[in-house]
Amino acid sequence: MNNIVFDTPFNRETFIRSNKVFWEYSWSKRKREIIFWTGMAAVFIALGIWDRATEGSAERGHIDLGIVFICVPLVMIVNMLFSRKRFKDKVEETATTYEKEKSKQVITLSEEGVEFRDFQTQFALKWSCFKNFVRYKEHILLIPTNPIVGGGLVINKQEDPEKYEQAIALLEEKLMEV
């Protein structure tokens, strides 16, 4: 099998858009958790109101628990807003650095794994370093097994649609799609 090489000169807009897509995907699970905890809070507050209306009970256990549950999504939302701001600032800073250096990004997919190279970084990861891959908004996101390693790699379909489809075929052979 031939290697699949995504060899593209740096494009600021594509870089920012791809990183934004990765951030959105990363936070999509957190959004579901926010909805869950908000629903739990609503259920307990409604139960407390119903108890008071039907039984005239002075006990506030359900309402108090609902108020505690509403704090969880509020903390998550604040965290998400600050995270988005920090991430956006870091992506802009990185984009400026890459633009100044006239960087080129090279991602190579092979039978052994993935190689990434730009003006300041070069690394190779075996397929075992990745848990799975995701097709998300015309991008391929390679999700690492160890989240401490950091974000996964992003391959954009717009860069080369033919190579994108070849990459999908290889990834389906090597990794599980989520």
Return the pLDDT at 43: 93
- 160 in helix, strand or coil? coil
Are the CB atoms for 138 and 101 separated by under 8 Å?
A: no
Return the pLDDT at 86: 93
> Hunting for tokens 């002075």 — which residue is that?
58
pLDDT in tens, 113-127: 889 888 888 888 888
Return the pLDDT at 8: 79
Calpha distance 79→113 (Å, rounded): 34
Return the pLDDT at 33: 92
- 159 in helix, strand or coil? coil
Return the pLDDT at 85: 92
Return the pLDDT at 22: 83
Report pTM: 0.70
61-101 vs 12-55: helix crossing angle, rounded to 10 = 180
pLDDT in tens, 30-50: 889 999 999 999 999 998 888
Phi, psi dihedral angles at 156 (to 5 degrees): -95, 130
Considering Cα of 34, then 38, then 44, then 47, what sign does the dihedral take? Answer: negative
Calpha distance 144→146 (Å, rounded): 5
Q: In the chain, which ranges are continuous DSSP H helix?
A: 12-55, 61-101, 161-174
Residues of the chain with pLDDT under 50: none
Calpha distance 114→155 (Å, rounded): 12
Return the pLDDT at 58: 61
